[in-house]
């Protein structure tokens, strides 16, 4: 039986009184040893007996039809097993939580680099040779590839609050600014990979996927088979960042070929294919208007954006998402346009929305502070919202204001020299700050917890994409059941296990974790009954149960095993209350007076993520996000060939993610103690995508502080910094 839990009201803060001492600690990952010794079996590591190798063939036209695929053109390749294409082939990965097949273009080409066929051979080398030499005929059509000039543009109805004209007209200070960000790649270290094996009518797919519960339906739908026939395993994922939310061409094509050939087939994308044929982050064009009264109180806040995608894709980057609730203004206005064109389609890439939207908002806030003659910290503090301005929902406990003031104190914000007064040789030094916000939510999730005399086993199809799920679920189960970490085993990412949220949207740890928590709480009630005490009086620690005046080994109370499956989901608190992670970023940079080079010298991030579940993995998430923000501010940019739309910088040598040499050693990350009682039964909030939100703005604002260069088109490469310094 499954225990159903809806988050209808705040729950007792049980994890504040449990005794095991695991929750919230910096417990190392249980999977760490396997990872660093190379024994963790990532999808492509699993090579079954007789496994063939597939390499994707990709379109060399932007739009049109495949008219011929000449298999004879590669017939001489030794060990060639076949060329596969046809109506089941997908053009791009499914969007997050789709649960159905991505578009199957049936021979049509919609972007340059689209997977159109799979060449399979006995060796990878032979398959690659075949994929590169296969003769493909096309009928080509003209295609628009520039989002700025695309003729097809969709517009949503704006979301508004208050009387815009009145608020804008009586402002004492105003900012009206446009901001541009380029496309981004998720750039996960592990390339997309799948190994497909059919056992009769049943497909076993080992993949590198973030959302197994959804991926099973997506894959089944793409292949036109019943979902019960599909089993997915994805126990280790070498980073996803959104790019592995949905089933993609590597998995679908491997399954098609494996069925035809009646042998296992492995498909691993080359790095260039990952760039070309996996969803990217859209470029954005953002228009912000901010206005305050004479006291620095926001009167008006508008955030309009233009993003792009391939025709037929439902996803559009929610650029203004955090602008809608971080600050309160009398009048607010949000609107989006989606341009349709034929470039590699866009989808969720880490912190979709906030990663680019909060950068623009927080640079605009810095500009407004200058206009109004108010310290940027004070401007923010005067406008922190206490409820969601657009929905009227109250926030559960949130401490944005404390993140700002305490972060400023730790960084030494008040003692900083006046703008433009600090230099070391040819380096101009400056500081900047920004707020962070990323919505938090509880998603439907289930988990099974089994308690025996040997310990506890947790089973859920939740994934660990490097975020620390194995560690966090171990801690929750161990804490709730009074077991040391060594006596808890967490099994993940098998689609036969109870269905969880998967990893995405920063909701995984809280959602899957709440399912483990509720299942373990049900087991605690049984244990209390058997011990003869009230559940509230039960204390579990190191395998000993205490309650009332009784003390007994846990093993004596179990009687074989205790099993509970819990399914959690959002309830009434999600209607009455808004929930979001918050934070504050501070940065110090050096800008070279003559070359425009920017070096980040130190960063500090202080965050409110509700209850911290694992201090080490939470810190890793926040730190990684801040580094991504640095890359977005200074180096990251997808470049498209203007003739074909084809991504030109398709590898990690030409697409510049921040490297060690770009990141200062002085990176401080910390969390305030918070309990969001309305978020979920553990009072935790998401952390994964919060660190990236706004961190780039702190750097851009520091560049301005140092040099007077206001860069409004990212990344702030030396050429743009020099041009902006000259303008200043």
Contact residues for ligand MOS (CB under 6 A)?
A: 96, 210, 240-242, 245, 348-350, 352, 504-505
Active-site annotation holder among 190, 283, 459, 689 = 689
For residue 248, the minimal CB distance to ligand MOS (Å) is: 14
By beta-carbon proximity to ligand MOS, the closer residue of 296 and 357 is 357
For residue 674, the minimal CB distance to ligand MOS (Å) is: 22
Please report where in the chains the tokens 């730790």 appear, as a residue.
410
Angle between helices 615-634 and 469-481 (to 10 degrees): 150
For residue 353, the minimal CB distance to ligand MOS (Å) is: 10
For residue 152, the minimal CB distance to ligand MOS (Å) is: 26
Rg (CA), the chain: 26
Residue nearest to ligand MOS (CB): 242
Mapping DSSP to helix (H, G, I), strand (E, B) and coil, where does residue 552 land?
strand
The span from the CA of 205 to the CA of 225, in Å, is 14
DSSP for 591-617, please give it: EETTT--EEEEEEEEEEE-BS-SBHHH
Phi, psi (5° rounding) for residue 597? -65, 140
By beta-carbon proximity to ligand MOS, the closer residue of 54 and 96 is 96
The span from the CA of 278 to the CA of 270, in Å, is 11
Q: Does an H or E element contain 368, and which?
A: helix 354-372
With contact defined as beta carbons under 8 Å apart, do 690 and 581 qualify? yes
* 284 Cβ contact partners less than 8 Å away, ≥ 6 residues apart: 179, 180, 181, 305, 306, 307, 317, 319, 356, 357, 360
Burial class (CB in 10 A: 0-12, 13-18, 19+), 156: exposed
For residue 381, the minimal CB distance to ligand MOS (Å) is: 30
For residue 696, the minimal CB distance to ligand MOS (Å) is: 16
By beta-carbon proximity to ligand MOS, the closer residue of 130 and 353 is 353
Phi, psi (5° rounding) for residue 57? -95, 135
Region label for 532, one of left (φ > 0), alpha (ψ between -120 and 50) or beta (otherwise) = left
By beta-carbon proximity to ligand MOS, the closer residue of 596 and 625 is 625
Mapping DSSP to helix (H, G, I), strand (E, B) and coil, where does residue 569 land?
strand
689 is catalytic: yes
With contact defined as beta carbons under 8 Å apart, do 20 and 686 qualify? no
With contact defined as beta carbons under 8 Å apart, do 319 and 286 qualify? yes
By beta-carbon proximity to ligand MOS, the closer residue of 365 and 692 is 692
By beta-carbon proximity to ligand MOS, the closer residue of 248 and 505 is 505
By beta-carbon proximity to ligand MOS, the closer residue of 58 and 350 is 350
Cα separation of the two ends of the chain: 68
Residue 645 CB neighbour total at 10 angstroms: 23
By beta-carbon proximity to ligand MOS, the closer residue of 505 and 694 is 505
For residue 322, the minimal CB distance to ligand MOS (Å) is: 14
Q: How many helices (H) and strands (E) does the chain have?
A: 16, 31
Which residues are tagged catalytic? 689
């Amino acid at each position: 039986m499954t225990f159903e839990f809806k988050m209808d009201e705040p729950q007792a803060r049980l994890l504040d009184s449990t005794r095991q001492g695991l929750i919230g600690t910096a417990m190392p990952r249980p999977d760490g040893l396997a990872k660093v010794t190379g024994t963790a079996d990532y999808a492509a590591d699993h090579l079954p007996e007789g496994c063939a190798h597939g390499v994707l063939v990709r379109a060399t036209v932007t739009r049109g039809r495949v008219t011929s695929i000449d298999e004879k053109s590669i017939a001489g390749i030794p060990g060639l097993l076949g060329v596969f294409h046809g109506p089941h082939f997908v053009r791009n990965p499914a969007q997050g939580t789709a649960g159905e097949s991505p578009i199957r273009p049936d021979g049509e080409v919609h972007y340059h680099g689209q997977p159109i066929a799979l060449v399979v051979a006995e060796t990878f080398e032979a398959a690659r040779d075949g994929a590169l030499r296969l003769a493909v005929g096309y009928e080509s059509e003209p295609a628009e590839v520039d989002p700025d000039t695309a003729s097809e543009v969709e517009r949503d109805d704006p979301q508004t609050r208050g009387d815009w004209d009145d608020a804008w007209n009586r402002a004492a200070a105003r900012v009206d600014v446009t901001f541009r960000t380029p496309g981004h790649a998720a750039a996960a270290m592990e390339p997309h990979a799948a190994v497909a094996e059919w056992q009769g009518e049943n497909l076993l797919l080992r993949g590198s996927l973030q959302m197994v519960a959804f991926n099973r339906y997506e894959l089944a739908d793409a292949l036109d088979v019943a979902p019960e026939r599909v089993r997915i395993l994805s126990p280790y994922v070498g980073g996803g960042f959104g790019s592995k939310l949905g089933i993609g061409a590597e998995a679908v094509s491997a399954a098609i070929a494996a069925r035809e050939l009646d042998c296992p087939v492995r498909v691993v994308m080359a790095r260039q294919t990952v760039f070309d044929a996996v969803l990217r982050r859209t470029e954005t064009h953002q228009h912000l208007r901010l206005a305050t009264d004479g006291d620095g109180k926001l009167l008006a806040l508008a955030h309009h954006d233009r993003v792009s995608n391939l025709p037929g894709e439902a996803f559009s980057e929610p650029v203004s998402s955090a602008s809608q609730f971080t600050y309160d203004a009398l009048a607010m206005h949000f609107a989006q346009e989606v341009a349709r064109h034929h470039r590699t389609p866009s989808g969720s890439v880490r912190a979709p929305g906030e990663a680019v939207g909060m950068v623009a908002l927080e640079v605009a806030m810095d500009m407004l502070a200058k206009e109004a003659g108010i310290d940027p910290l004070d401007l923010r503090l005067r406008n922190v919202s206490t409820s969601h301005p657009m929905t009227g929902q109250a926030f559960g406990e949130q401490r944005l204001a404390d993140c700002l003031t305490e972060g400023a104190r730790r960084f030494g914000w008040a003692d900083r020299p006046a703008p433009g007064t600090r230099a070391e040789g040819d380096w101009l030094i400056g500081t900047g700050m920004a707020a962070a916000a990323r919505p938090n939510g509880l998603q439907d999730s289930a988990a099974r917890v089994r308690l025996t005399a040997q310990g506890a086993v947790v089973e859920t199809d939740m994934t660990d994409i490097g975020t620390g799920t194995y560690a966090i679920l171990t801690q929750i189960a161990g804490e709730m059941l009074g077991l040391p970490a060594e006596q808890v085993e967490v099994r993940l990412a098998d689609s036969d296990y109870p269905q969880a949220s998967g990893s995405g949207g920063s909701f995984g740890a809280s959602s899957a974790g709440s399912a483990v928590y509720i299942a373990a709480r049900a087991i605690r009630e049984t244990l209390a009954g058997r011990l003869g005490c009230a559940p509230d009086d039960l204390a579990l620690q190191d395998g000993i149960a205490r309650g009332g005046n009784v003390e007994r080994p846990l093993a004596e109370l179990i009687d074989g095993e205790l099993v509970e499956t819990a399914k959690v989901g959002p309830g009434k608190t999600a209607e009455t209350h808004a929930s979001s992670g918050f934070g504050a970023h501070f940065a110090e940079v050096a800008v070279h007076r003559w070359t425009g080079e920017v070096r980040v010298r130190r960063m500090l991030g202080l965050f409110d993520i509700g209850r911290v579940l694992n201090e080490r993995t939470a810190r890793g998430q926040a730190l990684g996000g801040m580094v991504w923000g640095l890359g977005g501010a200074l180096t990251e940019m997808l470049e498209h060939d203007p003739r074909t739309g084809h991504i030109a910088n398709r590898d990690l040598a030409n697409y510049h993610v921040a490297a060690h040499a770009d990141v200062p050693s002085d990176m401080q990350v910390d969390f305030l103690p918070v309990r969001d009682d309305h978020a979920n039964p553990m009072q935790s909030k998401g952390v994964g995508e919060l660190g990236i939100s706004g961190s780039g703005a702190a750097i851009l604002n520091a560049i301005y502080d140092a040099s007077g260069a206001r860069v409004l088109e990212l990344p702030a490469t030396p050429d743009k910094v020099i041009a902006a310094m000259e303008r200043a």
